[in-house]
Amino acid sequence: MTAIKPEVISDPRVLSERLAEIRRQGKTIGLVPTMGALHDGHLSLVRQSQSLCDVTVVSIFVNPTQFAPGEDYEKYPRVLDTDLAQLESVGGVEFVLAPKPADMYPEGFDAHVHIGGVTRRLEGEFRPTHFDGVAVVVLKLFNIAGADMAFLGQKDYQQAAVIQKMVRDLNLPVEIRVCPIVREEDGLAMSSRNKYLSPDERRQAPILKRALDLAQKMISEKVTDAAKIKHEMRALIETAPSSAIDYISIADPETLDELESVGGRAVVLLAVKIGTTRLIDNVVIP
Protein backbone atom coordinates (compact mmCIF):
# COMPACT_ATOMS: atom_id res chain seq x y z
CA MET A 1 0.00 0.00 0.00
CA THR A 2 1.42 3.37 -1.03
CA ALA A 3 2.02 5.60 1.98
CA ILE A 4 -0.18 8.66 1.94
CA LYS A 5 -0.78 11.29 4.58
CA PRO A 6 -4.41 11.19 5.76
CA GLU A 7 -6.43 14.36 5.46
CA VAL A 8 -7.46 15.34 8.98
CA ILE A 9 -10.92 16.89 9.30
CA SER A 10 -12.46 18.09 12.55
CA ASP A 11 -15.84 19.32 11.25
CA PRO A 12 -18.26 16.41 10.64
CA ARG A 13 -20.17 18.46 8.06
CA VAL A 14 -17.05 19.01 5.97
CA LEU A 15 -16.26 15.29 5.99
CA SER A 16 -19.85 14.44 5.04
CA GLU A 17 -19.62 16.72 2.02
CA ARG A 18 -16.30 15.25 0.90
CA LEU A 19 -17.56 11.68 1.24
CA ALA A 20 -20.85 12.45 -0.51
CA GLU A 21 -18.85 13.40 -3.61
CA ILE A 22 -16.84 10.17 -3.35
CA ARG A 23 -20.05 8.13 -3.17
CA ARG A 24 -21.34 9.91 -6.28
CA GLN A 25 -18.25 8.57 -8.04
CA GLY A 26 -19.41 5.05 -7.20
CA LYS A 27 -16.63 4.37 -4.71
CA THR A 28 -17.14 2.35 -1.53
CA ILE A 29 -16.31 3.76 1.90
CA GLY A 30 -14.98 1.84 4.90
CA LEU A 31 -15.15 3.28 8.42
CA VAL A 32 -12.88 2.34 11.32
CA PRO A 33 -14.24 4.00 14.50
CA THR A 34 -11.63 4.42 17.26
CA MET A 35 -10.89 6.47 20.35
CA GLY A 36 -7.26 6.84 19.30
CA ALA A 37 -4.15 5.60 21.11
CA LEU A 38 -3.86 3.28 18.13
CA HIS A 39 -2.15 -0.10 18.28
CA ASP A 40 -1.77 -3.07 15.94
CA GLY A 41 -5.33 -4.17 16.70
CA HIS A 42 -6.67 -0.92 15.26
CA LEU A 43 -4.29 -1.12 12.32
CA SER A 44 -5.57 -4.61 11.49
CA LEU A 45 -9.04 -3.07 11.11
CA VAL A 46 -7.59 -0.40 8.81
CA ARG A 47 -6.01 -3.08 6.64
CA GLN A 48 -9.31 -4.95 6.43
CA SER A 49 -11.03 -1.78 5.27
CA GLN A 50 -8.32 -1.15 2.69
CA SER A 51 -8.73 -4.66 1.30
CA LEU A 52 -12.50 -4.36 0.86
CA CYS A 53 -13.27 -0.67 0.25
CA ASP A 54 -12.08 2.04 -2.12
CA VAL A 55 -11.74 4.72 0.56
CA THR A 56 -10.94 4.28 4.27
CA VAL A 57 -12.01 6.72 6.99
CA VAL A 58 -10.69 6.46 10.55
CA SER A 59 -12.39 8.36 13.34
CA ILE A 60 -10.34 9.35 16.39
CA PHE A 61 -12.62 10.63 19.12
CA VAL A 62 -12.60 9.99 22.86
CA ASN A 63 -16.36 9.95 23.26
CA PRO A 64 -17.46 11.52 26.57
CA THR A 65 -20.97 10.05 26.50
CA GLN A 66 -19.74 6.48 26.96
CA PHE A 67 -17.81 7.25 30.15
CA ALA A 68 -19.60 7.32 33.50
CA PRO A 69 -18.54 9.70 36.29
CA GLY A 70 -15.39 8.35 37.94
CA GLU A 71 -14.23 6.42 34.87
CA ASP A 72 -11.07 7.26 32.97
CA TYR A 73 -12.34 9.85 30.46
CA GLU A 74 -9.92 12.56 31.57
CA LYS A 75 -6.84 10.33 31.60
CA TYR A 76 -7.68 8.26 28.50
CA PRO A 77 -4.62 8.63 26.23
CA ARG A 78 -4.89 11.31 23.57
CA VAL A 79 -1.91 11.09 21.19
CA LEU A 80 -3.24 12.34 17.86
CA ASP A 81 0.17 13.10 16.30
CA THR A 82 1.39 9.57 17.09
CA ASP A 83 -1.86 8.09 15.76
CA LEU A 84 -1.54 10.01 12.50
CA ALA A 85 2.06 8.87 12.08
CA GLN A 86 0.96 5.25 12.47
CA LEU A 87 -1.82 5.66 9.92
CA GLU A 88 0.58 7.34 7.51
CA SER A 89 3.01 4.44 7.88
CA VAL A 90 0.26 1.95 7.07
CA GLY A 91 -0.85 4.03 4.09
CA GLY A 92 -4.15 4.04 2.29
CA VAL A 93 -6.17 6.02 4.85
CA GLU A 94 -7.72 8.91 2.98
CA PHE A 95 -9.50 10.72 5.83
CA VAL A 96 -9.25 11.00 9.61
CA LEU A 97 -12.17 12.52 11.48
CA ALA A 98 -10.74 14.05 14.65
CA PRO A 99 -13.50 16.20 16.14
CA LYS A 100 -13.71 17.95 19.47
CA PRO A 101 -16.63 17.09 21.78
CA ALA A 102 -18.40 20.31 20.78
CA ASP A 103 -18.20 19.26 17.12
CA MET A 104 -20.06 16.02 17.86
CA TYR A 105 -22.32 17.31 20.61
CA PRO A 106 -23.07 20.97 19.85
CA GLU A 107 -24.95 23.20 22.26
CA GLY A 108 -28.51 21.97 22.68
CA PHE A 109 -27.72 18.36 21.71
CA ASP A 110 -30.30 16.15 23.43
CA ALA A 111 -30.68 12.93 21.45
CA HIS A 112 -30.48 9.44 22.92
CA VAL A 113 -30.12 5.96 21.44
CA HIS A 114 -30.87 2.92 23.57
CA ILE A 115 -30.44 -0.63 22.29
CA GLY A 116 -32.14 -3.22 24.48
CA GLY A 117 -31.55 -6.92 24.89
CA VAL A 118 -27.81 -7.45 24.51
CA THR A 119 -27.02 -4.41 26.70
CA ARG A 120 -28.67 -5.63 29.87
CA ARG A 121 -25.87 -7.90 31.15
CA LEU A 122 -22.09 -7.94 31.50
CA GLU A 123 -20.74 -4.48 30.59
CA GLY A 124 -24.29 -3.14 30.69
CA GLU A 125 -24.58 -4.21 34.32
CA PHE A 126 -21.24 -2.80 35.42
CA ARG A 127 -21.40 0.32 33.20
CA PRO A 128 -25.14 1.11 32.89
CA THR A 129 -24.82 4.22 30.68
CA HIS A 130 -21.95 2.95 28.54
CA PHE A 131 -23.78 1.44 25.58
CA ASP A 132 -26.19 4.35 25.19
CA GLY A 133 -23.12 6.54 24.69
CA VAL A 134 -21.60 4.04 22.27
CA ALA A 135 -24.81 3.77 20.26
CA VAL A 136 -25.33 7.51 19.85
CA VAL A 137 -21.75 8.22 18.74
CA VAL A 138 -21.57 5.25 16.36
CA LEU A 139 -24.92 6.17 14.80
CA LYS A 140 -23.60 9.69 14.29
CA LEU A 141 -20.41 8.34 12.70
CA PHE A 142 -22.41 6.11 10.35
CA ASN A 143 -24.49 9.12 9.30
CA ILE A 144 -21.45 11.38 8.89
CA ALA A 145 -19.47 8.91 6.80
CA GLY A 146 -22.27 7.19 4.92
CA ALA A 147 -20.02 4.15 5.10
CA ASP A 148 -20.69 0.95 3.16
CA MET A 149 -18.77 -1.10 5.76
CA ALA A 150 -17.66 -0.54 9.33
CA PHE A 151 -14.84 -2.52 10.90
CA LEU A 152 -14.94 -3.45 14.60
CA GLY A 153 -12.69 -5.56 16.81
CA GLN A 154 -13.85 -8.79 18.44
CA LYS A 155 -12.13 -7.80 21.70
CA ASP A 156 -15.10 -5.54 22.41
CA TYR A 157 -17.47 -8.43 21.71
CA GLN A 158 -20.54 -7.03 23.44
CA GLN A 159 -20.03 -3.60 21.90
CA ALA A 160 -19.91 -5.17 18.45
CA ALA A 161 -23.10 -7.12 19.25
CA VAL A 162 -24.83 -3.89 20.29
CA ILE A 163 -23.81 -2.14 17.08
CA GLN A 164 -24.90 -5.10 14.96
CA LYS A 165 -28.29 -5.08 16.69
CA MET A 166 -28.63 -1.33 16.16
CA VAL A 167 -27.92 -1.81 12.45
CA ARG A 168 -30.55 -4.56 12.20
CA ASP A 169 -33.19 -2.84 14.31
CA LEU A 170 -32.85 0.55 12.61
CA ASN A 171 -32.29 -0.77 9.05
CA LEU A 172 -29.01 1.09 8.72
CA PRO A 173 -27.39 0.65 5.28
CA VAL A 174 -23.96 -0.39 6.56
CA GLU A 175 -22.32 -3.81 6.71
CA ILE A 176 -20.56 -4.63 9.99
CA ARG A 177 -17.33 -6.62 9.84
CA VAL A 178 -16.06 -7.96 13.18
CA CYS A 179 -12.34 -8.71 12.93
CA PRO A 180 -10.23 -11.08 15.06
CA ILE A 181 -8.54 -10.07 18.30
CA VAL A 182 -4.89 -9.06 17.92
CA ARG A 183 -2.71 -10.13 20.84
CA GLU A 184 0.70 -9.45 22.32
CA GLU A 185 3.23 -12.29 22.20
CA ASP A 186 2.20 -13.44 25.68
CA GLY A 187 -1.48 -13.54 24.75
CA LEU A 188 -2.72 -10.28 26.26
CA ALA A 189 -5.33 -8.71 23.99
CA MET A 190 -4.09 -5.39 22.64
CA SER A 191 -5.87 -2.45 24.26
CA SER A 192 -5.19 1.24 24.69
CA ARG A 193 -5.71 0.71 28.43
CA ASN A 194 -2.78 -1.72 28.67
CA LYS A 195 -0.60 1.38 29.05
CA TYR A 196 -2.08 1.88 32.51
CA LEU A 197 -0.54 -1.37 33.82
CA SER A 198 2.54 -1.23 36.02
CA PRO A 199 5.37 -3.62 35.05
CA ASP A 200 4.26 -6.13 37.70
CA GLU A 201 0.61 -5.86 36.66
CA ARG A 202 1.60 -6.29 33.02
CA ARG A 203 3.28 -9.59 33.94
CA GLN A 204 0.03 -10.75 35.57
CA ALA A 205 -2.34 -9.57 32.83
CA PRO A 206 -1.94 -12.61 30.47
CA ILE A 207 -3.88 -14.61 33.09
CA LEU A 208 -7.03 -13.54 31.19
CA LYS A 209 -5.94 -15.37 28.06
CA ARG A 210 -4.80 -18.38 30.09
CA ALA A 211 -8.28 -18.57 31.65
CA LEU A 212 -9.91 -18.44 28.21
CA ASP A 213 -7.54 -21.15 26.99
CA LEU A 214 -8.55 -23.26 29.98
CA ALA A 215 -12.22 -22.86 29.09
CA GLN A 216 -11.54 -23.89 25.49
CA LYS A 217 -9.59 -26.92 26.67
CA MET A 218 -12.33 -28.06 29.06
CA ILE A 219 -15.00 -27.65 26.40
CA SER A 220 -12.88 -29.57 23.88
CA GLU A 221 -12.65 -32.34 26.48
CA LYS A 222 -16.48 -32.49 26.56
CA VAL A 223 -16.98 -30.63 29.83
CA THR A 224 -20.41 -29.06 29.30
CA ASP A 225 -21.26 -27.71 32.78
CA ALA A 226 -20.81 -23.94 32.44
CA ALA A 227 -20.66 -23.45 36.22
CA LYS A 228 -17.78 -25.91 36.52
CA ILE A 229 -15.86 -24.24 33.70
CA LYS A 230 -16.33 -20.80 35.27
CA HIS A 231 -15.27 -22.13 38.67
CA GLU A 232 -11.98 -23.39 37.23
CA MET A 233 -11.42 -20.13 35.34
CA ARG A 234 -12.04 -18.12 38.49
CA ALA A 235 -9.59 -20.23 40.48
CA LEU A 236 -6.91 -19.69 37.85
CA ILE A 237 -7.43 -15.93 37.60
CA GLU A 238 -7.32 -15.52 41.36
CA THR A 239 -3.76 -16.86 41.36
CA ALA A 240 -2.78 -13.42 40.01
CA PRO A 241 -2.41 -11.36 43.21
CA SER A 242 -3.55 -8.07 41.66
CA SER A 243 -6.67 -9.50 40.02
CA ALA A 244 -10.30 -8.71 40.86
CA ILE A 245 -12.98 -10.35 38.73
CA ASP A 246 -16.00 -8.34 37.59
CA TYR A 247 -17.53 -11.21 35.67
CA ILE A 248 -16.93 -14.50 33.89
CA SER A 249 -19.69 -15.42 31.45
CA ILE A 250 -20.42 -18.31 29.13
CA ALA A 251 -23.17 -17.06 26.89
CA ASP A 252 -25.14 -17.46 23.70
CA PRO A 253 -23.07 -15.65 21.05
CA GLU A 254 -26.10 -13.82 19.62
CA THR A 255 -28.23 -12.88 22.64
CA LEU A 256 -25.49 -12.99 25.31
CA ASP A 257 -27.93 -14.88 27.56
CA GLU A 258 -26.07 -16.99 30.11
CA LEU A 259 -25.74 -20.70 29.31
CA GLU A 260 -25.97 -23.44 31.91
CA SER A 261 -24.62 -26.07 29.51
CA VAL A 262 -22.24 -25.75 26.57
CA GLY A 263 -23.66 -27.91 23.81
CA GLY A 264 -23.07 -25.77 20.74
CA ARG A 265 -21.76 -22.34 19.84
CA ALA A 266 -20.92 -20.11 22.77
CA VAL A 267 -18.83 -17.14 23.72
CA VAL A 268 -16.75 -16.96 26.88
CA LEU A 269 -16.34 -13.40 28.13
CA LEU A 270 -14.59 -11.91 31.11
CA ALA A 271 -13.79 -8.60 32.71
CA VAL A 272 -10.99 -8.47 35.25
CA LYS A 273 -9.25 -5.64 37.03
CA ILE A 274 -5.50 -6.00 37.27
CA GLY A 275 -4.66 -3.43 39.88
CA THR A 276 -6.86 -0.49 38.93
CA THR A 277 -6.90 -1.29 35.20
CA ARG A 278 -10.03 -3.01 33.92
CA LEU A 279 -9.41 -5.43 31.06
CA ILE A 280 -11.87 -7.42 28.94
CA ASP A 281 -11.33 -10.42 26.70
CA ASN A 282 -13.29 -13.23 25.11
CA VAL A 283 -13.16 -16.32 22.95
CA VAL A 284 -15.83 -17.71 20.64
CA ILE A 285 -16.46 -21.44 20.91
CA PRO A 286 -17.47 -22.77 17.46
Q: Quick one: 158 and 52 in the same domain? A: yes
In a domain, 128, yes or no: yes
In a domain, 187, yes or no: no
| C-beta atoms surrounding 87 within 10 Å | 25
State the SS3 of the chain.
CCCCCCEEECCHHHHHHHHHHHHHCCCCEEEEEECCCCCHHHHHHHHHHHHHCCEEEEEECCCHHHCCCCCCCCCCCCCHHHHHHHHHHHCCCCEEECCCHHHHCCCCCCCCCCCCCCCCCCHHHHCCCHHHHHHHHHHHHHHHHCCCEEEEEHHHHHHHHHHHHHHHHCCCCCEEEEECCCECCCCCECCHHHHHCCHHHHHHCCHHHHHHHHHHHHHHCCCCEHHHHHHHHHHHHCCCCCEEEEEEEEECCCCCCECCECCCCEEEEEEEEECCEEEEEEEEEC
pLDDT at residue 1 is higher than 70: no
Domain end, chosen from 156, 179, 202, is at 179
**Residue 234 one-letter amino acid:** R
Q: Quick one: 24 and 140 in the same domain? A: yes
Domain range for 236 is 192-285
Q: Quick one: 153 and 243 in the same domain? A: no
% of the chain residues with pLDDT over 70: 99
Q: Quick one: 60 and 154 in the same domain? A: yes
In a domain, 41, yes or no: yes
As for how many domains the chain has, the answer is: 2
Domain end, chosen from 130, 158, 179, is at 179
pLDDT in tens, 215-263: 999 999 999 999 999 999 999 999 999 999 999 999 999 999 999 999 9
- Kindly indicate the confidence band of residue 2, based on its pLDDT and cuts at 50, 70 and 90: low
Q: Which residues are catalytic?
A: 42
Q: What is the CATH number of the domain that holds 128?
A: 3.40.50.620
pLDDT in tens, 37-72: 999 999 999 999 999 999 999 999 999 999 999 999
Q: Quick one: 219 and 172 in the same domain? A: no
Q: Quick one: 212 and 174 in the same domain? A: no
| C-beta atoms surrounding 118 within 10 Å | 25
Q: Quick one: 170 and 211 in the same domain? A: no
Q: Quick one: 277 and 212 in the same domain? A: yes
| Cβ 273 vs Cβ 243: under 8 Å | yes
**Residue 75 one-letter amino acid:** K
What's the average model confidence in pLDDT over 73-90? Answer: 96
Q: Quick one: 76 and 211 in the same domain? A: no
pLDDT of residue 4: 76
pLDDT in tens, 147-195: 999 999 999 999 999 999 999 999 999 999 999 999 999 999 999 999 9
In a domain, 1, yes or no: no
In a domain, 2, yes or no: no
Q: Quick one: 235 and 155 in the same domain? A: no
Q: Quick one: 235 and 113 in the same domain? A: no
